[in-house]
Amino acid sequence: GATLSVAGGTLLGYTGTQVAPTNGLAVFGNVGIGTTSPAFNLQVVGTTNITGSSTFGGALQLADGTNAAPSLTFTNDTDTGLYRIDSNRLSLVTGGASALTINSNGNVGIGTTNAVNKLDVIGSTYISGNLGVGSSSPVSKLEVIGTSNITGAATFGSTGSFASTLT
């Protein structure tokens, strides 16, 4: 393989009277690393390693990825990250499995990739605080404002009171 070493300032591909940078390389045209026909200002084919921070002035475009290999992942945990399931659906993945999915309707799925409600949870759920249905500030473990429908048996574990008729 060929090697290019630059000391000081150098121009490549420029014609005329351009001034070279003080310390670095200025290239007119596309630059390819791992390719002889780059289609972009910089095109790298193969793996890269960037140490330090990077700033992008435009969009960062990633491959879609999969559950097993998310497109945005971590060096020491490559089956955890973010991937695009399909058009307008994103999934946060842990351990190679979709943990949380968001679709274009704003629906969130936990334990499912096909949320049809604002929140779909598949599996057991534990809520440590109060839960309000129709209430934004519940004062008890479960507060339901409005008509409720229970299909099946309802068990009450201790004595209680009812504000209206229970039928």
Per-residue pLDDT tens for 68-123?
A: 999 999 989 999 999 999 999 999 999 999 999 999 999 999 999 999 999 999 99
pLDDT at 7: 82
Lookup: tokens for 86: 């399909």
Kindly indicate the confidence band of residue 44, based on its pLDDT and cuts at 50, 70 and 90. Answer: very high
Beta strands in 21-71 (DSSP E): 24-27, 31-33, 42-44
CB atoms within 10 A of CB 49: 5
Residue 43 pairs in a beta bridge with 32
Distances (CA, A) of 53 to 7, 25, 41: 24, 21, 20
Three-state secondary structure call for residue 9: strand
Name 63's Cβ contacts closer than 8 Å, sequence gap at least 6.
Answer: 71
Do β-strands 131-133 and 142-144 pair in parallel, antiparallel, or remain unpaired?
parallel
> Is 39 a residue whose pLDDT tops 80?
yes
**Count of positions (residues) in the chain:** 167
Backbone angles phi, psi at 116, to 5 degrees: -110, -10
Query: How many angstroms separate the CA atoms of 112 and 120, rounded?
Result: 7
